[in-house]
A and B are shown apart, each in its own frame.
Chain A
């Protein structure tokens, strides 16, 4: 009785904190259990159990995002070693669909949060800027699935993209200016045209937990 009560209290707490409904939390908990092998926390190795993730070119970044302290709201930088269920939910909460009942301001906030998540994935050294190297790294990873593309192509593409970003964000630059990297505000500017709040969502209720071993 006590266990059930505390369990439901816990769920209520989580509902309050993360914004998921209790059904969704149940589903996610089941999934968490599957991933962690019934342990209370998940480590990076557990993500190897997700078969399709192998094929994802940026899997390392995605996995990293789960452990990123900035996403977990535990600090300005660094990686956690393991995450518990609540942390798992925190990360998943970034992908909640936008509620139509929200007003404009809240929508903007949501959008910012989602974009911040993405920004953290780009900005691996947590310095608040996406430098050219980090950008290159991203592009290389994206293209890594493609054996025919050489590293240099990735470089030049990244450079080109960086130039675009520079022109978008800085406009005309003085001769002495240097462009340090893409800050979060610049990042927001770049993504301005794109509808992230409508695209960045996962339907959490219609989940089918796939077998972890194929």
Chain B
């Protein structure tokens, strides 16, 4: 059943797919069907006889049936069975697409899925002669949409989002209003023309149609934009708009629908509509924030039962969504704000594993939902609920595009005045182009009450045409267009510690200058919020309440991630990196003379290898392709790299080597030891150590007790002076120099500096050394993340102390 690797295969192997189809067709209408009659397969359905037809185990009163040896009871499992089959089909289709590598880059997945849906729909229609199961709007709104929005909201890069929040709101609210009213009114104008035969469509109906068709769809935007990697700002503008315009859509839709059904409309109703908008939007947000805080608070206490932590995240988010839906508020906004609020605090409270689980499960759910939505769109298109009218359809399409372009242009002119960095024409073009319509519009149009809308089928057709056009044509052409226009692409660099430092530094500089100027800028509010956050919120919501610096968090995260990777690749060593952050010992180590330093350098250069720069980049969806071999090499390099770390020729970084019991002497340099001799010994030990695997095991355990042992061994060295060098914990490292590194206390900084003029030398590795390759804090690959941005991830609070001090194997 495995679709064998190479070459193009259209979606998946044909045989299982046909089997699925057969079962689908043969079975009675699924739970997802709204139009099929409820023909339970008790052998009375009009469908062609099939192997799946059920033998009712019931007995007729007239005769007694014998005990059946083998029975088939389809209705019993019908609903879950069909749901499972649909999801399976969707996932198989996805596998099929990715078999041919280039395909998803040329054609966005959404298009392919719709085509599969169309195909399926066609088959079902052809076989059954009735409309295939259309997607029930309830199922869509309650089950399929929330995971996608949750995923988007949880991983939303908050900084650029809030930096652009004014613009996003501007586009979402005013833009959607502009579009709906524009499209509605112009369509009404068209309908007035007698020749088209549309005069029975009233203004209100047109306005309603306009409101539902003008909403930019987050699902479609996500599906298309994730492949083209435009720069973050553009992405966040389009995507933020698509999320936040839900409030406007909900309000307008309900408003016009009620107006259509009301006899008279009074001004108070209009005002009620406007008030409703605020209620819907703000209410949604408040619900989201409230539940987000509760979720964060709950996770504060879950340290004893880590297994259900991910559950809370999902439950609370979903709760926020359906609570908002209960009150007819904007569910999308609720779940988005809930996710964004939760994200910050939950990250710090949950364990590493829970975090990974949350992330992967979320991605999985959203992926499945997205796939199902698109397939269903395809399936539901085929059928009998269409009415074609050239004029209406084509004008709808034209107006959608025109009004979108106009709207973006006009609105941007207005908002550019307030922005410090105005949006260029290229940006505007992409924003307008990226206004894709999708499943929400689709679902809403199906939801129109047929009684009020005699021409509902016309609307459906028009909506489908617009959706297909935007998804297919715009979706496929946006990629070459982006390249043609040379739009700035996303910055794919991984988050490095130095970048974090620079960003932080820069933030503070900017804030400082703003303070000096007396200017309340963005940074002012951000700082205020941060202070409030630190003072109250974090104390309340986070378990281990240490105010964390993002730099340190990032650093720790990288370290832990590195450690996990090392462990995962089967190496014995899962050592933490080169610094024990939490309880670092201060010690004073004798300074080395320049002559000694040179000697060290020489010895090292003769014996060690060079380091190579490594880059590992993770993509949002997949890990790097060639795993094992490259990884092995990388690991080797990383080990060397880490060994190299220990060699610092500048003033003060002393590493601690912990290789075996005997090496304890080398922890610090006793005053009387002659250096070269020590080096000699160390070298021998190192060579010996390298050859035996025992030292690995040894080192593995020794690190456990590093701190206490170190304390025991180094009381005389223990100095209370500030600015001591940090010891590097090394497992397996029996290497040479480390302890000889001079650790110059701060007052002697200058001297140290001159001694080894700020030199940071690339360390070289001993031949055949099998140390734990500890990754330096260089750009470590993060967990896959959507738009690249600063991400703070929590490291395991509980595990922290364990890790830094003593590594538990």
Contacts and interface: CB of A to CB of B under 8 A. Distances in A.
A180 B649 CA distance: 10
Contacts of A129: 758
A53 B512 contact: yes
Nearest to A140: B723
B770 to A, nearest CB: 21
Given A133-B753, A175-B764, A201 B508 contact: no
A58 to B, nearest CB: 5
Interface stretch (A2-10, A11-19, A73-81, A205-213): A205-213
A203 B519 CA distance: 8
B518 A138 contact: no
A39 interface: no
Interface in A18-72: 28, 31, 34-35, 47, 50, 52-53, 55-59, 61-62, 65-66
B549 A149 contact: yes
A181 B747 CA distance: 20
Contacts of A181: 758
Contacts of B511: 52, 56
B767 interface: no
A53 B547 CA distance: 20
Nearest to A158: B501
B724 A161 contact: no
A138 B761 contact: no
Interface stretch (B21-29, B685-693, B771-779): B771-779
A50 B515 contact: yes
A77 to B, nearest CB: 16
Contact of B760 (A100, A146, A171, A179): A179
A174 B760 CA distance: 12
B505 A138 contact: yes
A168 B658 CA distance: 30
Interface string A129-149: 101110000110011011111
A82 interface: no
A151 B723 contact: yes
Nearest to A173: B762
A163 B420 contact: no
Contacts, number: 251
Chain B binding surface SS class = loop
B610 A132 contact: no
Nearest to B528: A52
Contact of A180 (B498, B651, B722, B757): B757
A11 B584 CA distance: 56
B760 A208 contact: no
A185 interface: no
A50 B212 CA distance: 52
A194 B502 contact: yes
Interface stretch (B406-414, B489-497, B703-711): B489-497
Given A152-B581, A209-B518, A132 B513 contact: no
Interface in A143-189: 143, 145-153, 155-167, 170-181
B45 interface: no
A164 B778 contact: yes
Contacts of B756: 178
B405 interface: no
B612 interface: yes
A174 B612 CA distance: 11
Interface in A186-203: 190-191, 193-194, 196, 198-203
A204 interface: yes
A180 B756 CA distance: 9
Contact of B513 (A34, A95, A145, A209): A95
A53 B516 contact: yes
A135 to B, nearest CB: 8
B512 A206 contact: no
A110 interface: no
User: Residue among B493, B509, B585, B723 with the most chain A CB within 10 A?
Assistant: B509
Interface string B525-552: 0010001000000000000001111011
User: Residue among A50, A121, A151, A160 with the most chain B CB within 10 A?
Assistant: A160
Contacts of A164: 496-498, 776-779
B551 A142 contact: yes
A28 B649 CA distance: 47
Interface in B651-676: 651-653
Interface string A82-105: 000000000010010110100000
Nearest to A58: B508
Interface in B143-162: none
Contact of A172 (B502, B520, B580, B612): B612
Contact of A133 (B513, B577, B651): B651
Contact of B501 (A66, A149, A157, A200): A157
Interface in B737-789: 749, 752-753, 756-762, 764, 776-779
16 contacts: A34-B518, A58-B512, A59-B512, A97-B421, A132-B758, A150-B584, A155-B726, A156-B728, A160-B578, A161-B501, A165-B498, A167-B778, A178-B759, A179-B761, A201-B420, A206-B519
Interface of B: 420-422, 424, 491, 493, 496-499, 501-506, 508-521, 527, 531, 546-549, 551-552, 555, 577-586, 601, 604-605, 608, 610-613, 645, 648-653, 722-726, 728, 749, 752-753, 756-762, 764, 776-779
Given A149-B581, A150-B584, 18 more contacts: A34-B518, A50-B516, A53-B512, A98-B421, A131-B753, A142-B501, A142-B504, A152-B579, A155-B652, A157-B552, A159-B578, A167-B613, A175-B762, A176-B605, A178-B649, A178-B757, A202-B514, A204-B519
Interface of A: 28, 31, 34-35, 47, 50, 52-53, 55-59, 61-62, 65-66, 92, 95, 97-98, 100, 118, 121-122, 129, 131-133, 138-139, 142-143, 145-153, 155-167, 170-181, 190-191, 193-194, 196, 198-204, 206-210
What 5 A-B pairs come out closest when comparing CB atoms?
A: A160-B777, A156-B579, A178-B759, A152-B584, A131-B758
